[in-house]
Structure 1
Amino acid sequence: MTLQIVLSLMLIGVIAGVLSGLVGIGGGVVMVPLLIVMLGFSQHQAQGTSLAVLVVPVTAIAVFNYYKEGYINWKHAAIIAVCFVVGGYFGSKIAISLDQKMLKKIFAVILLLLGGKMLFNK
């Protein structure tokens, strides 16, 4: 692994971490596109790597800050987490079976739709 790759990975991690703590995004929305653009990862590689980063409790300190201020609903988070595990399993099975071009298009459309909804919602 070259120094340039290590520095790129560090930059992606810092950007994803800052945005995760700041606005609650980081994984798919930040890391996946950056891994593709900066390091030439395939869509599958970028998604898999992004998910692997989240296996460890990388957001634990950010969560603690939100917890201290009373901004976490643990019951809701637990339900979402359990369903996230189930959905992640099936979603990954589907993604692995898709062609990279189709997967990239699906990813882009989801980002556009969600971003547009947030941008134009009251």
Structure 2
Amino acid sequence: MNVSVFVSLILIGALAGFFSGTLGIGGSVIMIPLMLLWLNFTQHQAQGTSLAVLAVPVTFFAAYNYYQEGHVNWKYAVIIAVTFIIGGYLGSKLAISIHQGVLKKIFGGVLLIVAIKMILGK
């Protein structure tokens, strides 16, 4: 690992953490695009690495700050977390069988649709 890669990794982590804490985004919106652009990862490598980062409780302290202010619904969070595990497993099985070029287009399309909905929605 050279210095450029190391600095890129630090910046990706810091930016993803910052945006996760401020906007609730990080993995797919920040880390994956930056790994594709800065580290020349394949779509599969970026997605897998992003999931590996989130495999440990990296957002615990950010979530705790929201909890302290009364902004966490634990019942909903547990249900989402359990079903996220199932969906994540099934989705990863599908994703690794899709060609990287197609997967990248699907990924970009989903981000675009969500962005348009967020900007134009109420």
TM-score, structure 2 normalization: 0.99
In the alignment, the residues of structure 1 paired with residue 61 and residue 81 of structure 2 have an alpha-carbon distance, to the nearest angstrom, of 18
In the alignment, the residues of structure 2 paired with residue 56 and residue 80 of structure 1 have an alpha-carbon distance, to the nearest angstrom, of 17
- CA displacement, residues 55-81 of structure 1 (integer Å, 9 cap, x when unaligned): 010001101100000000000000000
Give 1:72's aligned residue. Answer: 72
- Aligned runs of 1:1-122 on 2, under 5 Å? 1-122=1-122
- CA displacement, residues 74-120 of structure 1 (integer Å, 9 cap, x when unaligned): 00000000000000000000000000000000000000001110100
Structure 2 residue identity aligned to 1:110: V
Structure 2 residue identity aligned to 1:100: Q
Percent same amino acid at aligned positions?
58
Unaligned runs of 5+ in 2: none
Paired positions, count: 122
Structure 2 residue identity aligned to 1:90: L
TM-score, structure 1 normalization: 0.99
Q: Which runs of 4+ in 1 moved over 3 A?
A: none
